[in-house]
A and B are shown apart, each in its own frame.
Chain A
Amino acid sequence: DVKVTQSSRYLVKRTGEKVFLECVQDMDHENMFWYRQDPGLGLRLIYFSYDVKMKEKGDIPEGYSVSREKKERFSLILESASTNQTSMYLCASSEDRTKQYFGPGTRLTVT
């Protein structure tokens, strides 16, 4: 079974803090994704990566950056957290960009 793990299930940060969300997958997938999930808005793609050191913007990249230094790890960075970034963050990986496997999510609260 594909396993996608995220570093934290719950996180509370203060406005202006730098936040790192880590995601690791164990299936040697080329593609990895970061989404945020908000009530009534579904899942929205922030960034994705199709190879090490490669990244592409999704629908809502503003206020975020990503890092893919190793194939199995994809990090989402909030340079200066703001309250409107309070959300559920979901990481996913896929072999061919179609069927994506999701992690359990990180619920981030920015106060």
Chain B
Amino acid sequence: GESVGLHLPTLSVQEGDNSIINCAYSNSASDYFIWYKQESGKGPQFIIDIRSNMDKRQGQRVTVLLNKTVKHLSLQIAATQPGDSAVYFCAEMNNAGNMLTFGGGTRLMVKP
């Protein structure tokens, strides 16, 4: 079956530094990927998404990179702030295009 995973379960960064959260996926046919942020006590919040016909997509302070050759997805957060502290999930769309499969999540901790 399809699987989405994360290299690092916990990432600690200094405030102001850039953060990189990584995600590996196994289904080479996936054509849609998405990142969510989940703060304590809240539901996941959409950050950014990308389709497989793109390598890079930028949002406000965030960039998603997709490397289809090695089936790797990353989320880059520029100038990380305390408010960025949360658990970040990546997800990929299945072959049928009707279900997202989520990774286990990475906790980002921002040190002041």
Within 31-51 of B, Cβ neighbours of A (below 8 Å) are at 32, 34, 36, 41-46, 49
Q: Are A102 and B43 in contact (CB under 8 A)?
A: yes
* A56 / chain B contacts, CB cutoff of 8 Å: 98
- How many CB-defined contacts (below 8 Å) exist between A and B? 50
* B49 / chain A contacts, CB cutoff of 8 Å: 98-99
Q: Are A100 and B42 in contact (CB under 8 A)?
A: no
Number of residues on chain A facing chain B (CB within 8 A):
24
Q: Are A42 and B98 in contact (CB under 8 A)?
A: no
Stretch from B63-71, B72-80, B102-110 that touches the partner: B102-110
Within 46-100 of B, Cβ neighbours of A (below 8 Å) are at 46, 49, 89, 91, 93, 97-100
* A35 / chain B contacts, CB cutoff of 8 Å: 102
B44: contacting residue among A45, A98, A102, CB under 8 A: A102
